[in-house]
Structure 1
Amino acid sequence: MRIEDDAPEWVSVAADGQLVAEPNRDVAPGVYPINVITDNGERGTILVEVAAPVSDADRVTAEYKESFVQAGRTNSSRRPVATIDRDGVKYAKQPLPAGTTFSVSTANGTVDPETGVVTVNAPLSMAAGETIVVGVDIRYPDGTTEKVTAQFVVDAAEQSEFYHPAYKEGLGAQAGRTVVVPVLEDSVPEDGQYELFPQDRDDDWDVSIDPETGAVTATAPEEGAKDISVPVTVLYSDGTTSDREETDPETGERKKVPTVFAHISAVEGPTLATDSTSGADYGTPFFDADGNIRIFPNGSLPQGATFQQDGLTALPVEVDPNTGAITIKVPQDAPAGANFDIPLKITLPDGSVQEIRVPVATKSEAADQVVAWRPIKVTESGTPTQVKPTAAPAGATYALAASFDTPGWQASVDPVSGAIIVNRVGTDEDPQAALVPVVVTFADGSQRVVEVPATAVRGTAALTEVDYPRATINAGQSATLRPSVSHGTFSLVKTVPGLRTVIDPSTGELTITSFDSTVPGLREIPVQVTFADSSHLVTSARVEVKTTSGADTYTEGIKLDDVTVIGRPETTSRYTLPVPPHAADRAFSLGEFSVPGWNVTLDEVNGVLEVQVPAGTRGVRQAIPLNVAFADGTVGTFNAVVEVDNAGVAEGSSQSSAGSSTPSPWVWALAVLGLLGTVCKVLYDNREQVLQFLAGWM
């Protein structure tokens, strides 16, 4: 079969005799008659229907592959690719049709109108992982359009571009003296390293740098000191540095030049000592776990200051020559409330000396208040554990002691609530247990260090809860507590003041005995439980100790009666106050009392009350409020009632008593006997008249 000459050029006959129609996109839609002649000479007509072409936008799907750009830098995407549909067959990763053009629909990027390559500039402030999305409008050759997006993922900026290290300005040193210039913390990352930029120097300054902190230490020459600028190289964790590369104009070679400098002045004027007096001050003393008194300096002193004791003291004293920390060894027989001073000599780096005296007292509120935490269990998975105090004095604040340095352990303390957060982050080589030292600051400013045991548990210990029931006993009584489990070996972690504790290692049965003198309050008794797989944990038994009478505090359990003092105008009455059981040292103090003309004083050491009644006072009862402090920290109140009779007293007279000023029964008895004796003598001397009177009366 063949086609007549008037047929369209897009029609042909295949080798097998089939008619093939391949109209291009410019052929108008419609029905085309095609005249054909067969091999035997027969003529015929074949109708070919041409449909409207599919638009480029319908058959072509364009996309951009995800691209990356570093913060502070510019980068471009790859060319877009297309998935093209030809007669139901999809061809992926194809170039877009020739003649396709591109434009951006957003302002955060640009696009090449012919290739479709998108270019963006990522701001330096963008964080790693953020994205930049650029909208692109595509126009195909047939005029149809499509909207697509090109996405860029932001990589972290180079640290050398993000950080701008700077040193503190305005520091300097006198001739022969040393100065330390710190780097400003906000201008560098925490993991930065530091080194001096190599240079030839002829200024005679002795300069060094701390590779971890970046602090520059410089000692000025004895003569001819001039201002200097010390170049420093900062090494960042991403491998970049603070140095900049530039071309040497003489050699044409690339070389590194510093961009960070510590500027140090040669100072003429006052010595460092004149600016250091504010640092020669000490904080409030506190008691550590061994009963020693610890004191640390406040403020700041020049680096290199040294400390030494400069005289005798009432108790043994140790002074750290580098830090100035003071430790006073307090013996068990030390007098309570003893006050003394520690003479110190502080030598500053420039050779000048300060002499100060640090006041110390052997007794404070920290010695009597009860504060405790239950033992802390931490799993080896690295999950932090929080424990709040089981007994917390009102007004106390808390802090983690600076001495905590157990390898593989982390701890923090909430300053208000006292909650401890502990986490074990170490390896198997690090300790499985730690003591967390908490500095407790009481309302009166005194301090005490409480060590809270923390244990990393595994195996059976990690899956087992061991509890003891809570017990309440009176002072002088005993209680026996049994744990919630019995499979394990039990042992006591430490002794608890005021209690005698005995534990059965096989069953965990715990016998607790308090003494008659045990101060009321809550006690935590830590117990270690070791299981068959060698895992162990620390739990605690909680015991509430009351007074011998069952009161919660000494104040509730002891009745305080008012006392009576006999007073007379213009007379000083002295009265020794009766001391109730369990009273604290210096138990008594005056309450609020302000009555015109009355003069009231209290000898708090000896407990002697002195009352001077104003002139002209007659027939009154005046109450004077008094406070009494007990060993458990509670305070009770009672009154000393001054009774003023109607009798007068010669000016300047006084009276005193060792107890109540009310006359005793023996005085009254002697007075009555004296009166009877006087009556009998009068009757005897006038016996004749009396007999006559009786005879006449009868």
Structure 2
Amino acid sequence: MVVAAAALIVTPLVQVAGPTELQVQANAQAQGPALAETNPIKYKLLEVRPGKLGRSELESGDLATISRVEKLYKKIDFSGVAWRPSPTSGADAPRRYQVSVWAPETGVIAGVYDREVLSGKDSIYKWNPQKFLDDQSKINELDFDIKFTDGSVQERAVLPLRLLGLDGRLANDLDGDFDGDGVSNGEEAKKGANPFDARDRGVAKNPLPKLPETTTPTPTSTTMSAKPQPKPSPSSSTSQPQPQPQPQPSSAQQTKPSSAKPTSTSVKPTTTTRKPYMAEQYDPYPGELLVRLKPGQEFRSGTPFGNAEVKVRSIRYKGEQNGRKSPALDHALVDASDGNRFVVKAKGLEAFAEAYEQEFGNSKPEFERVSKWFMNTFITHARVEVDYPDNSSDAKDFLIGFVGEDERVFSIPAADFDGDGVSNEDEVSLGTNPFSPDSTPHEKPKFAITSKSVKPGEVYEFVPSAKLDPNTKFLGAEGYQVSLTPDGNVRVVGSSDKWNHKFSFKVWDPLYEELATLHVESDFSEDWTPINVKAGTTLETNVMRPDEIASGMEIVSTKDELKAGGVPDWVSIGRDGEVFLKPPRSEGGSKGERRYWVRLSTGEQRVIKVNVLDPTPYAEEYKLQYPDVFVRLGEETRSHAPLATLTQGAEVFFNQPIPEEAQVSYSIEGETDASVVEREGTAEDGEQPGMVTFKATGDDLEAGDVVQVMVKASFSDGSTQHVPVYFNILPRQIAGSYNHAYETGREVLPGTPIVLHRTDVRNVPEGTDFVFFEDAEGNKNLNGWKVSVNRDTGNLVVRAPENGARPLDAVVTVSYPDGSSTDVPFHVGVKHSKPDAEAFTPRYAPETLTGGTRTSYEMLTPVPENTTFSIEENAGLDVSVDTKTGRITAVLPKDAPGGAKYNVRVRVKYPDGSEEFIDAELRKKAIADEERPRWSDIYVNAGDLASTPQGQRVPPETTFGIDASFAAKGWQVHVDKYSGRLQVLPDASVKPKSKVEVPVVVTYQDGSQRTVKVSAYVREPRQTAAPTPSTEAPTSTPTPTPSTPAPTPEPDPAPETGSSAAGWITVILGALGFLVGAGLLALQEVPVVQSNLRHLMRDLGLRR
């Protein structure tokens, strides 16, 4: 609403910055009166000058007690845009609730004054400047609820707001000078001039009727209160400036707490003394709240606290408000390398022009609609957050706006944003682009062809003389396939309904309304569907219908017949109906329909109809662009030739060369220290058309400047394009200090990609760019090779063609941030022999590792240089592999059973691109690997019992047993499970001189086992009385079964040999008879318990 816009012009933008919530305060909630009652928030009057952003100050209360703003009762509206309070920090960060208000520019207020007061339109301010001045001097109120840290709520806290002029006085102060033009407000109002427009210097634009006398008393002007600036030390910054007298809000403005009971008048406000937070003492980036940029301009703030030294924990750029970034904003950041300065850069004028074209196209919108769109689209915010050592935080919102080449905002109708001499309002009304100095009024599109006969399902495009507006409508086309193409043509599809094969529709443009009535008729005759192809493109299609193809029908016309029938070289017709078309751009669409007669195998003759459409203008098909160029002060540099982004239908191809037939010529727009290679005939050695040479010798140039040179590209078809080249000015050459190189000796299999690494190890400066230009001097013989480069690391991915591959020699261009560049050559051979994966057999030897210990070991067999390795399957282990050597490092589980085996699979990728998988067997080291238990050979008479002890010290918890496979006939054996003493008893059936090997299985604590074979021999019988045979025989002890699964048993070790123990048994048995009598001699007839024998031997003083 116009009235509301003018009345509330003083407060278009309100924001809230959030509190520092310390844990101590959060836990210090008392049971007494609520904070909303004892310590409510009361704001001082906030007065702001045009184009400035001010922060609120408290008259009473403590920001640290605020939890959040809960409810906004009134939004403030200006030019149709609503602004609301919002926290300046993220949800998880400490916050401080302050309110920031941005006041509009004087030019914006001047535009409203012209429209509401001086234009003569119906308005409450018509011919009444005093009422307008009074309304701009009123105190506006922003009210909202505040929730405190104790949970209480203060309802309708009021922030009073008022607008001051550039002179710090109110608008209705008739002696004041609001716009700063040297003429008082009262004098300008009486003369019919604009008190808010400094350009008129107090002179009225048009004679006006007699204006009402100004009778409103002039209020006393006030001055703005500023936040204290940083001091050298926090202690000195606690003193506050003396507040000046401020108007008090009315009783309706006073705050009231949220409580069921009325507030007691006897309750005194609770005051607490605490040390101020650093966020309350310091103001980062003081005064730098509003950033105004011209297209292509960069803003760089001062240091955060001026010359004061303030300790901070971090300063960071948090992005645009609500995550929205203006499409005209190139970048915004905090440059830590330059004293934490906030930096923001605008895009060039072409970004604004492109956005306008996308939004409004071929239309003439209302200027107010465009102004509102400009504000919603381009005005944005950027935020910088500061964290202090005392855990408090602050945030500074930068309002980022854009002004035109005339340094005025777009919403001023008389301003000239693009600097072409035509005002913004006039350009919008004329249909030209107000952001493009070269734009011309839109032409009314016309159709040369308005009626077309098509086959059912055939696609045809009606091509207008000018691209149609994206909002074009087709009236009467309901039920038919009619649409607008991306090129702005009308696309129709022939109807397959014989009863509705004719239809007409109107083309309705939002600006020119009805453009034409188009007629479409479906042709159901037996002719083939006409083919539409755009000049300068290729098309492959089949003219035959599916039933004709299935019947075996063919085109039998000879080449001579086709040539005689007028078939040009760019048309190829196959026997199976395949038609390949590649019309040159010169064919165009002015020659009408082409008809080429062919003879069929059925004897019939058919015609192939071809419609060649106008080619897309070069300037639309090829969008040129230059990479940024860097040049040192006082030096001269030359850009690369421009590359093009080619758009063909829905496909987009980047970095494409410009075709020779386009015959582009280049020229420099404006006055600048730059020149361009105009065309092919003017290029000298090493030059290419379009290369721009720039001399950074201007006296006004400084390091950090960005100079835009505008190049006009004119194509052979008459279309033109303006292409900017950006020259970044660097301090008074990095190239030459780096010796870049790539791996050598690499060969690749045809059709297989490989990665070619840089071999130089130095880090390159930030901003270095590795680029592979296919049109570079050293890259003209690619012959089917595909090359891409990582622009940051410089590593290459190269792929040889499948067929006819030859060695590749090419170069990578390295561009440094100082504008210097160098070409780095590389060579890749082609491998025609068998792949490396077949020629090499890498393997790992089985490796035994100690559990719980990190161990590494190498591969056994050599592999070619530049072979890489990676783990494919880790078998559940902590295992890694050296990517270059294949060295494996692994940690086996400490609690795994001894002898456990793991197979790790390794991927081997060879330098020729082939690969294979190999296995590495890892085995956990077992106790059985090192222990060597030993028994002496046993010599025994048939029918006698003999034994031998285990002769080595063994680890604790070792057990012994007889392998279950032992089944020697006539032999009884037994081994003590814990001591290992082995007893054998051959019966009388065993022949003398017989020998057996008793397999003794030794099981260790870790579950590993070792089998030792002990030899037992039967003696020749003595010529003595035969002993009484034993009535009992020893029994075999079965092999213990390991309780742990997994490890594979080791192979049986070789048998150990030793001395006989037969004499020992005789001595021990004799001792037994001497001590306990003949009854114990029966022990000879049963297996002897080894532990008892050991005790007896020790008591008798017997030693081995």
Report if TM-score (shorter chain) is over 0.5: no
Q: Choose between structure 1 and 2: higher strand proportion.
A: 1
> TM-score, normalization: structure 2?
0.18
Higher relative contact order (CA 8 A, sep 6+): 1
Structure with greater helix percent: 2
Please report the TM-score for the alignment, with normalisation by the length of structure 1.
Answer: 0.27
